[in-house]
Amino acid sequence: MHHHGAPPLDLVQAGPYEFRLERLGAMRVPGVVFASRELLPEGGDEALRQVADVATLPGIVVASYAMPDVHWGYGFPIGGVAATDVDDGGVVSPGGVGFDISCGVRLLAADLDAAALRRVMRPLMDGLGRVIPRGAGRGAVWQVSGRRQLEAVLAGGSRYAVEQGHGGERDLMRCEDAGAVADADPEQVSARAMERGLGQVGSLGGGNHFLEVQRVDEVPDEAAAAAFGLRPGQVCVMIHCGSRGLGHQICTDHVRAMEAAMPRYGIEVPDRQLACAPVASPEGRAYLGAMAAAANYGRANRQLLAEAARRIFADAAGATLDLVYDVSHNLAKLETHRVDGADRRLCVHRKGATLALPPGHPGLPEDLRASGQPVLIPGTMGTSSWVLTGVPGGRAFHSTCHGAGRRLSRHQAIRTVGGKELRARLESRGIAVRGASWRGLAEETPDAYKDVSAVVEAAEGAGLCRRVARLTPLGVVKG
């Protein structure tokens, strides 16, 4: 990238699923990469260099972490976790959240077995193909009437959607932050970001976003699965999407503002994509308020898509869908953690990394206290996805991986397979595909990704989480 003169990184194996980058140069803390040897980034210097760069951020504590699905990203690697001490000059960096703010996953469980789905599969998939807006264009489940209503979405998230009659109380209980992040500040969202967000509430978008109909395939942890409401053979719906053009614009706006402000705070970063500002500064607070607003937009988005899926399941299969959980994997949160024997207020950046609260955590709803938090890991299109749970003493501030992690760029992926061929391959394995462009399909070929089961195995081996259930696809609606 931009580090031609930088010294080579010294990566030392510290455990079966752990590698360390010792402090070097301006690094304030070591880097820690949770991975097996096979999963280490290939020629992965770029992603590893980013782990080292993040370790230079003001106020960073313990380590700059990378998850087993780590790959190169904007500023921070995707699969990066970093916490800064709010009361000790800790910064917030938009690159530590990424462009798709609050991109995340929602899992719904049907009162239906896969065997019973076969007779209604075609009308069900056609119905989903019809009601789920996707791709880069406009169109959404719910037309927001204008700026005032969009502000209500930004302030209230899923809670506002449910108040408007789109869903029920359980949808809030089983959502991270009970469906809405408290500190949202729609004032910090630019007119351009608002404009981009207006027509897209309740839409999938492109890239690796999808709505997938799945079956529970394998249940390594029956007690946790039962607490989550999952059983072998059951039909589920997984929705993976984020905050669309609104989140992207917020990232762009605030990176620009912070880049201009850094000299005032005497902050220097090794890469301008790591632009940041103290959490307590006006710029830091403005970003966190806008980021929270985008998080609420993302949650409302998934809530509305879930409602659309519920209508189709009721019509086509006479089935209901209950929310298992909804969790983001691109977010910064203010959390209290024990560091060096003292409770510290930290700003925890998780970018392509999922919060994984352990059993007994006060942030969990009553009915999940004993099991720990459901962690939702989407696989690659047409491969399996996983449900995990948080573990006691979870490392990296209770974080784990977020998916398979790219191996090939979109550009490289297109050269390996044609979209038509890929669709035929999926359908020959009994996976129904609806509504994707050929190019979009080819960009998301499973060959472009690491093996999600290897990623999940490494995350469990590293003590970040525990496997609860494996889900395999029956049908996919693709951005």
Q: Is 381 known as a binding-site position?
A: yes
Measuring CA to CA, which residue among 186, 200, 209, 213 is closest to residue 245?
200
Element (H, E) at 414: helix 410-416
What pLDDT does residue 427 have? Answer: 85
Q: Is 262 known as a binding-site position?
A: no
What pLDDT does residue 138 have? Answer: 41
pTM: 0.94
Cα 192 to the chain's mean position, in Å? 24
What pLDDT does residue 382 have? Answer: 76
Q: Is 379 known as a binding-site position?
A: yes
What pLDDT does residue 441 have? Answer: 78
Q: Which sequence positions are flagged as catalytic? A: 402
User: What's the domain range around 177?
Assistant: 11-407+449-478
Q: Is 380 known as a binding-site position?
A: yes
What is the DSSP secondary structure assignment for residue 18, as one 8-state letter? E
Asked if 348 and 90 touch (Cβ cutoff 8 Å), the reply is no
What pLDDT does residue 6 have? Answer: 61
Asked if 330 and 352 touch (Cβ cutoff 8 Å), the reply is yes
Cβ neighbour number for residue 260 with a 10 Å cutoff: 12
Query: Tokens 């977010």 label which residue?
Result: 331
Q: Is 100 known as a binding-site position?
A: yes
Query: How many domains does the chain fold into?
Result: 1
| Residue at 413 is within a domain | no
Residue 400 CA to residue 354 CA, distance in Å, equals 5
| Residue at 442 is within a domain | no
pLDDT tens, position by position, 11-56: 999 999 999 999 999 999 999 999 999 898 765 579 999 999 999 9
| Residue at 265 is within a domain | yes
What pLDDT does residue 203 have? Answer: 64
| Residue at 252 is within a domain | yes
Q: Is 240 known as a binding-site position?
A: yes
| Residue at 369 is within a domain | yes
Asked if 88 and 394 touch (Cβ cutoff 8 Å), the reply is no
What phi and psi values does residue 207 have, to the nearest 5 degrees? 65, -140
Q: Is 212 known as a binding-site position?
A: yes
Euclidean distance between the first and final Cα of the chain, in Å? 30
| Residue at 443 is within a domain | no
344: amino acid identity, one letter: R
List alpha helices for 86-185, DSSP H.
Answer: 114-117, 121-131, 147-163, 169-173
Q: Is 403 known as a binding-site position?
A: yes
Low-confidence residues of the chain: pLDDT under 70: 1-7, 42-44, 133-143, 201-208, 435-436, 479
| Residue at 135 is within a domain | yes
| Residue at 431 is within a domain | no
Query: For position 208, which CATH number holds?
Result: 3.90.1860.10
